[in-house]
Each structure stands twice: as C-alpha cells, then as structure tokens.
Amino acid sequence: MLKSRPIIAFVATTTPSRAKAFYSKTLGLKLVSQDDFALVFDAGGTMLRVAIVQELQPAGYTVLGWIIPDIRRAVLDLGKRRVKFERYSFLDQDDLGIWTSPSGARVAWFKDPDGNTLSLTQFERPRRTPRHNKPRVRERPKGAPERSTLRNR
C-alpha cells in the first residue's frame, strides 16, 4: 500500500532557532515552512519535519542519515562549518572519524544541536562484471521479414 508513497522524516528540537540555523546554514537544507509545531526542510526531495518539543531525550542511535558520493569531501566540508564528527571506541574509524563497514559502506556520525545523531554514508560502488564476448542477439521487430527471406530477394 505504501511502497510507492513518499516518506517524511522526523527529528525533534527544543530550540527551533538553533535547529533552523543548523539545518539551513550548516547543512544547507532549504527551509520550506515554519510554524509553532515544526520547521520543515527539503532534504533532497524528502520532507524533513523538525518537530518543536518541550523536552527531548536524544535516541542512542542514528535518527537521520544522508547517502553521499564522497564521504571524505563531505566530512571535510562539514568540519569547516564546525561540525564535530563522533568517535566510537568500539569502531575502527580513520583520521576523519569514518568507519568502513563489513559491506564496504563508509559511515561518519555527527550530532545536531539537540544531540540527535545524524550520519553520512557512502556506499561501495557495485563492481562491474566483465562482459563475455558473446554475440549480441537482437530480436526481430514484429512484422519484419526474417534474414533468410531478405537474402533470397
């Protein structure tokens, strides 16, 4: 029922002015609307609602993440904008805080001003399998004469 419907992402804030600056200026998301209930951003075509709440206990896991093509570049760019990337003692992270997962995906985590954990992920590019030198067989368009018929003319 919902497989072809767009998704809305949610995250919470207790301080909308800080969240607005972080998501729009630091991360570069476009602010679409703002009211007493939420800040709404366009996150690459996905609606991100930053709900305004009185109290917030940040989750102990990643609540939002972005798929990016070049994680090193993104980490360096965000670092220039004063984003601090998280270090986890149980993960083998590189000098920028990027962890390479068993699948080959590379991930880095950071927090928004409310302590929500966000992430960047660069998936390993699928390896192309070498093409075998098989002759290409083209299908004959409907109604087209067979090759043997053309040769006999």
**Domains in the chain, ordered, with CATH?**
7-53 (3.10.180.10), 60-126 (3.10.180.10)
Asked whether residue 119 carries a pLDDT value surpassing 60, the answer given is yes
pLDDT at residue 125, rounded to an integer: 76
pLDDT at residue 18, rounded to an integer: 98
Is the Cβ–Cβ distance between 6 and 46 less than 8 Å?
yes
Compute the distance between CA of residue 149 and CA of residue 136 in angstroms, rounded to an integer. 21
Mean predicted confidence (pLDDT) in 19-26: 98
Compute the distance between CA of residue 139 and CA of residue 142 in angstroms, rounded to an integer. 9
Is the Cβ–Cβ distance between 130 and 76 less than 8 Å?
no
pLDDT at residue 132, rounded to an integer: 56
